[in-house]
Amino acid sequence: MKQPELAIIIPVYNEAENLLRLQQVFEAYFPLAKIPSKVLFVDDGSKDNSLQMIRDICNANPLFTYISFEKNCGLSAAIKAGFDCADTKWVGYIDADLQTTPEDFNILADYCNEYDLVTGVRTGRKDSFVKNASSKIANGIRRSFTHDGMDDTGCPLKIIKADKAKAIPMFNGLHRFLPAMILLQKGKIMQIPVRAFPRVAGKSNFHLWNRLAGPLSDCFAYLWMKRKYINYTIAEKKL
Q: Could you tell me which residue, 97 or 132, shows the higher pLDDT?
A: 97
pLDDT of residue 26: 98
Tell me if 23 is assigned to some domain: yes
Task: Identify the weakest region by mean pLDDT among 5-9, 30-34, 127-131.
Answer: 127-131
Tell me if 234 is assigned to some domain: no
Tell me if 237 is assigned to some domain: no
Number of independent structural domains in the chain: 1
Tell me if 166 is assigned to some domain: yes
Q: Which of 57-71, 150-164, 189-203, 223-237 has the highest mean pLDDT?
A: 57-71
pLDDT of residue 41: 98
Q: Is the pLDDT of residue 140 over 80?
A: no
Categorize the per-residue pLDDT at 107 as very low, low, confident or very high, splitting at 50, 70 and 90: very high
Tell me if 211 is assigned to some domain: yes
Per DSSP, what are the bridge partners of residue 94? 157
Indicate the pairing of strand 37-43 with strand 6-12.
parallel
Tell me if 1 is assigned to some domain: no
H/E/C letters for each residue in 79-143? HHHHHHHCCCCEEEEECCCCCCCHHHHHHHHCCCCCCCEEEEEEECCCCCHHHHHHHHHHHHHHH
β-sheet with 64-68: strand ranges across = 64-68, 37-43, 6-12, 90-94, 157-161, 117-123, 189-195
Tell me if 146 is assigned to some domain: yes
Q: How many CA atoms lie within 13 A of 10 on its CB side?
A: 28
Contact 179, 117 (CB under 8 A): yes
Q: What single DSSP character describes residue 13? A: S
Q: Could you tell me which residue, 212 or 123, shows the higher pLDDT?
A: 123
Q: Alpha-carbon distance 160 to 147, whole Å? A: 19
What share of the chain has pLDDT > 70, as a percent? 83
Tell me if 79 is assigned to some domain: yes
Categorize the per-residue pLDDT at 150 as very low, low, confident or very high, splitting at 50, 70 and 90: confident
Exposure letters 191-224 (e unless 16+ CB within 10 A, then b): bbebbbeeeeebeeeeeeeebbeebeebbeebee
Give the DSSP H or E segment for 158: strand 157-161
Q: Is the pLDDT of residue 228 over 90?
A: no
Q: Alpha-carbon distance 64 to 70, whole Å? A: 20
The domain that holds 94 is classified in CATH as: 3.90.550.10
Range of the domain at 59: 6-228
| pTM of the entire predicted model | 0.84
Q: Alpha-carbon distance 186 to 46, whole Å? A: 36
